[in-house]
Amino acid sequence: MLPNRATSLRDTLGNASDCSGRFLWGATASVSLRDLLCGTSLGGRLRELSGRSVLIATRDPRGTPDLSSEHLSAVIAKGGVDAIVSDWGLHQREHCDAPLHVRCGPTITRAPRVQVDPQATEWVLLTSGTTGAPKMLVHNFASLTAPIKSGQNQETDVVWGTFYDIRRYGGLQILLRAILGRGSFVLSSADESAGDYLGRLGAHAVTHISGTPSHWRRALMSPAVRAIAPRYVRLSGEIADQAILNALRSCYPQASIGHAYASTEAGVGFEVNDGLEGFPPSTIGARGEVEMKIEDSSLRIRSARAADRHVGEEGPAFVDDEGFVDTGDVVELRGDRYLIQIKFKQNRSSTCFGNSN
């Protein structure tokens, strides 16, 4: 599905005719992918960002996930940020300036397609750190898109939605699935209730939707839960127990219901679609795109989907000698399934800014 040597989202979109009828629907505004390809919201200044470490900061009344204002200047310094793209005056704040500031406007204006030399991009994702300062993990376009299989989502009527913030790893994965597939995407908003979002999802006839088990519990307690009739329901970010899987099966009998294990460090580990909690033992030790092993009861994962490193480090400090990421999550074999033992694990996936090099 991905064009050979595609290094950016723009490369994967092809030409405008491929994007006809595809949209990103937000709570208060929408944009067609065709307009995105044929226009600019940056005043035609995309080329100026080439080769820079860019902080993308959108106006958000609730703040950016896993980034408090007290850590912002440190993140800018550590990330070597030399350009800021924002829809508000972030650059005017003390210690938040950068040599280049590009204003992102609220509308797309038609403009000639900017030819930018292909180059590898890196995406810095923030995750909550134990000391308060966010961890800054570097992914590249290949690692982020590796879980999205060629040929997946080739149906033309796919409409994705996710309860996640797309700045988190879990939400970004769904945005990428929508864009790299042939679908559209309904963005959730921090300001709207689960019921309101379900109503919008229903209005756009969502077919594929993801969220954490907590998101889904909230959705299932909403009268609007029947506003949608998805074909695929996905859970990730927390442990999906049998109760929530059963409840979703009952609510959406027509849907395929799957749960995935992912972390920002390890990427997407496994996806299970048999309706049962946990994962089968056969996945441990199996050779393949993703390899998993258990050491000291902890799940370890090795794949090309993992983050490359923390910002400021030469290599990944979170992998063992064999390249496995220690997830720190304890698993236990019960009967014929491995179950993850940490209940309601905090979602460790988040995205704040990206694009460097």
Residues near another protein, by CB under 8 A: 193-195, 214, 217-218, 220-223, 225, 241, 243-244, 246-247, 249-251, 343
Q: What whole-number distance in Å separates Cα of residue 353 and Cα of residue 343?
A: 29
Q: Which is nearer to another protein, 48 or 196 (CB)?
A: 196
Residue 256 Cβ, how far from another protein at the closest point, in Å? 17
Q: Which is nearer to another protein, 139 or 215 (CB)?
A: 215
Q: What is the DSSP annotation of 100-129? A: EEEEPPSS-EE-PPP-------EEEEEE--
Residue 226 Cβ, how far from another protein at the closest point, in Å? 10
Q: Which is nearer to another protein, 122 or 329 (CB)?
A: 329
Residue 62 Cβ, how far from another protein at the closest point, in Å? 12
Return the SS3 of 75: helix
Tell me the β-bridge partners of 174.
none
Taking the C-alpha atoms of 273, 278, 281 and 284 in order, what is their torsion angle to the nearest 10 degrees?
90
* Structure token digits, residue 100: 């280049």
Q: Which is nearer to another protein, 124 or 244 (CB)?
A: 244
Q: What whole-number distance in Å separates Cα of residue 23 and Cα of residue 19?
A: 8
Amino acid at 7: T
The residue ranges of DSSP E strands in the chain, in sequence order, are 23-25, 30-32, 39-40, 54-57, 83-86, 100-103, 109-110, 122-127, 135-140, 159-162, 184-186, 208-211, 232-235, 256-263, 267-272, 290-295, 298-303, 309-310, 325-334, 337-340
Q: Which is nearer to another protein, 108 or 339 (CB)?
A: 339
Please list the helix, strand and coil fractions of the chain in percent, rounded to the nearest 5, in that order: 25, 25, 50
Residue 274 Cβ, how far from another protein at the closest point, in Å? 17
Residue 276 Cβ, how far from another protein at the closest point, in Å? 15
Q: Which is nearer to another protein, 113 or 226 (CB)?
A: 226
Q: Which is nearer to another protein, 147 or 170 (CB)?
A: 170
Residue 250 Cβ, how far from another protein at the closest point, in Å? 4
Residue 243 Cβ, how far from another protein at the closest point, in Å? 5
Residue 339 Cβ, how far from another protein at the closest point, in Å? 12
Residue 188 Cβ, how far from another protein at the closest point, in Å? 13
Q: What whole-number distance in Å separates Cα of residue 292 and Cα of residue 307?
A: 16
Q: Which is nearer to another protein, 102 or 244 (CB)?
A: 244
Q: Which is nearer to another protein, 35 or 241 (CB)?
A: 241
Tell me the β-bridge partners of 300.
293, 326
**Whose CA is closest to 136, among 106, 169, 109?**
169
Amino acid at 179: I
